[in-house]
Amino acid sequence: MYVSQFGVLAAVLFAIGVYGILVRRNGILVLMSVELILNSVNINLVAFGALRDTIAGEVFALFVITVAAAEVGVGLAIVLLIYRNRRSVDLSEVDLMKG
Amino acid sequence: MSEFVRPALDWHALAPELTLLGVGAFLTLIDILFAERARAITSALAGLGLLGVLVPIITLASAGVASEPRVMFDGGYVVDGYSLVLKAIFVITGYMVVLLSTNYFAEGDYWENEYYGLLAASMLGMLVMTSARDLITIFIALELLSIPVYLMAAWRKRDLKSNEAGLKYYLVGVVASAVLLYGMSLLFGVSGSTLLSDIGSSADLGSGVDSPAMVTLGVIFVLAGLAFKVSAFPFHTWAPDTYEGAPTPVTAFLSVASKAAGFVALANLVFVGFWDRSDVYQPVFWILAAASMTAGNFMALRQTNIVRLMAYSGVAQAGFLLAPLAVAGESAGVADDALQAIVVYLAIYAAMNLGVFAVIIAVARRTRTGMVESYNGLFRTAPAMAVVMTVFLASLAGVPPAGGWYAKFSIFRALISPGITWGYVLAAVAAVNAVIAVGYYGKIVARMWFEKPWVPETALDEIQEKTPNDMSEVVAAESIVAAETVAAETIVVAESIVKTDAGTSSSLPFALVLALGLSLAATLLFGIVPGTLTHFTEVTLLPTIFTGS
């Protein structure tokens, strides 16, 4: 196994995640796209940690997983707030302010 | 398996963070135990708690931390002069935000206890950020300071604009931190360590001879991720919407403390992490700085809402703050100049921007609107407020003796000191932009001093009802007289509204007056005697691996 394979996988996941964020209009799916990027980061971290023979990569990945959970919790709370007030999670409708 | 050895902890060096953690936990506990009964005292407790955090900062300063930095975790957490002065700036900024929030939240019938707990949590992230010299610590600090603010931006739960502010800030924030993390993972891959000093001394990043794409990508992704945080063009799109929709004290917190934390992270990464790779980061900062200044100023020129105007002004100011980083890699001396210019700018920017937001909150208490027109004739309706606002706006525009001129001066000095063409060109761009900025700051000042007093729409309707003659029925000659009567009555009504509505400046809440006074004093002090500030900002970040001493 080569580390470049993991690097390519992570880069592809990152690109898919960015694409999802830019294109998707549903709040929940945008959150899932963000998760894709964070997981691509985790793959990178663990692969590089193994390559460099250090535990720091795995420790960093654990921190990323933990923080991602907290972040998504807050994100779902905000999406839920929007849903309560608007009965929809379509992000393209959330455009009261412009300019 | 080697035995686990607990790293040595320097409790005194950690005291500011621990105190703030205690304050935050205490506020949350009060909320759980007493719920609504504690409402009246939470803001006072939060303010006192934050002032209490200043005590360990002062004892650390008097213990000579500036000359002998306290280093923990193999250099991953450092308490030195630089981090200490920034900690003081953050704590004082947080205290001012508590002052701004006190009446806003008490009178608006929002949840209060949780708000101050979240504010303390966010500030803890900022204090940690000033000392963080490790990728993991920087990431955790960034999330700790961001996540509570996502919630605070959406604090007005039933207000659709506030919801939108929170959602936009959240989405942009998580994408930015994801991009930042991807960059960090690449830097970790290149160097095999998360310690910034190890990253700086690793073969690929330290020598700067070989330039694998991974280093370039890693650095650029990290900078882009943080550019969102400091709302630099073209990563600023969230700022105007979030600033407008969020409660105004939260906007003040976002535009001062949160932005400053982004700059602290940038400075830590650039000066400790990859200072030698100026071939990568200098062009990026050059473009970001020039674009932010220019775009921010031009978009600010056509804003009709004062908070949106301040958002774009913040984008332009972020450009000024980024500018010294575009030349910071030239030599160790220039790097120190650039860092000191940034710290000075952050301190003065905090004072004057908080002042502007204090005035905005005070004026909106009476007018209930954020439109720029509501500042028309402020000098006639609330003279003290108009004078104070003029000082802050002059400071933002860089007019002496208000503090802003010294901030801009240190930026220019840092840009010119290396004596390279790109530095001169950027200084010229900054100078042109400083002039453009006078346009929109000056427009508000002109409105306050020379226009007729602003009258709310509802009051205009009242005047229409009071006017006896229907304008279509009077002859031409009479209509002029009638028009003059209307104009005269407008002023009378406007003045009576001003007198009746909460009695204006004479009955401003004490907290707001204190916030105004503190920021005014700081703005003038830093402008007239810059030495009071520069005495504390003689700081450096470059580790010995770069300076070679």
pLDDT, position B400: 81
What ipTM score was computed for the predicted complex, to two decimals? Answer: 0.93
Confidence of residue A74 (pLDDT cuts 50, 70, 90): very high
Cβ pair B163:A91 closer than 8 A: no
What backbone torsions phi and psi does residue B3 show, to the nearest 5 degrees?
Answer: -65, 140
Task: State whether residue B532 sits within 8 Å of chain A by CB.
Answer: no
pLDDT, position B201: 77
pLDDT, position B287: 92
For domain A3-92, which CATH number applies: 2.130.10.10, 2.40.30.30, 1.10.287.3510, 3.40.50.450? 1.10.287.3510
Mean pLDDT, all residues of chain B: 83
The one-character DSSP state at B192 is S
pLDDT, position B205: 62
pLDDT, position B479: 52
Question: In angstroms, rounded to a whole number, what is the distance separating the alpha carbons of residues A11 and B532?
Answer: 50
The domain ranges of chain A are 3-92
Site from A25, A46, A60, A95 to mutate, B interface, most B CB atoms within 10 angstroms: A60
Instruction: Assess whether the previous peptide bond of B234 is cis (omega < 30° from 0).
Output: yes
pLDDT, position B484: 57
Mean pLDDT, all residues of chain A: 86
- Residue in the structure block whose two tokens are 């000093």: B197
pLDDT, position B471: 47
B-chain residue closest to A76, CA distance: B167
Task: State whether residue A48 sits within 8 Å of chain B by CB.
Answer: yes
User: Which amino acid is it at B435?
Assistant: V
pLDDT, position B532: 76
Q: Which residues of chain B have pLDDT under 50?
A: 208-209, 470-476, 497-505, 548-549
The one-character DSSP state at B7 is P
Cβ pair A60:B194 closer than 8 A: yes
Question: In angstroms, rounded to a whole number, what is the distance separating the alpha carbons of residues B120 and B326?
Answer: 33
Chain B residues lying within 8 Å of A7, measured CB to CB: 189
pLDDT, position B87: 92
Cβ pair B171:A51 closer than 8 A: no
Question: In angstroms, rounded to a whole number, what is the distance separating the alpha carbons of residues B543 and B273?
Answer: 9
Question: In angstroms, rounded to a whole number, what is the distance separating the alpha carbons of residues B53 and B20?
Answer: 6
pLDDT, position B549: 42
Cβ pair B167:A34 closer than 8 A: no
Strand partners for B70: B79
